[in-house]
Amino acid sequence: MSTTDLSPGRPASAFTLPRDGGGTVSLSDHAGRNVVLYFYPKDDTSGCTKQAIAFTEQADAFTQADAVVLGVSKDTVAKHDRFRDKHDLGVVLLSDADGTICEDYGVWVEKQMYGRTYMGIERTTFLIGPDGMIRQVWRKVKVPGHVEEVLEAVRA
């Protein structure tokens, strides 16, 4: 299903994933609200930590804009719990341990570092409107200024 067209104006791919702290979260749980769905490579790495902290710092602003922020990586719920507690994070962290949702959203890609090729999550953010349609997509995200840009798009 990774051939799903997830460009703006298309329906977002449905999902249900386990979350930090227990339980599950489905995209349908947030019907009628904006959903900021951000995919990140790994808990407790520098860029991912900065990004999660930046979303946490703006959590109230996203709530006021009637948006929920959901972070997704392939880390386990237990790792998410440690990451959340260590950095006092205020965003929901979802575990896509088998990578199905990463595949559905086209963020499981071939990457290169130090001449080595490997598969990993491309840092990507999707803004899904209250109608379940994708409003905006940011690929190959650079962390500085990104959260503010997403917040601006939610408010627009």
Residue 149 sits in a domain whose CATH number is 3.40.30.10
Instruction: Compute the distance between CA of residue 69 and CA of residue 83 in angstroms, rounded to an integer.
Output: 16
Q: Which of 6, 17, 27, 48 is catalytic?
A: 48
Question: Has 102 been annotated as catalytic?
Answer: no
Q: Where are the beta strands (DSSP E) in 9-113?
A: 16-18, 24-26, 34-39, 67-73, 92-95, 108-113
* Residue 83 included in any domain: yes
Q: What 3-state DSSP class applies to 131? A: coil
52 within 8 A of 107, measured Cβ to Cβ:
no
Can you give the pTM of this predicted structure?
A: 0.93
Q: Is residue 9 part of a domain?
A: no
Indicate if the alpha-carbon torsion angle 60, 61, 67, 68 is positive or negative: negative
Residue 64's domain comprises 18-155
Q: Is residue 113 part of a domain?
A: yes
How does pLDDT run across 126-152, given as a tens digit for each residue?
A: 999 999 999 999 999 999 999 999 999
- Compute how many other C-beta atoms are within 10 angstroms of the C-beta atom of residue 106: 19
pLDDT at 113: 84
Does residue 71 surpass a pLDDT of 60? Answer: yes
Average pLDDT, rounded, for the chain: 94
DSSP-assigned beta bridge partners for residue 113: 116
Structure tokens at 56: 């946490």
Flag whether 77 is in a domain: yes
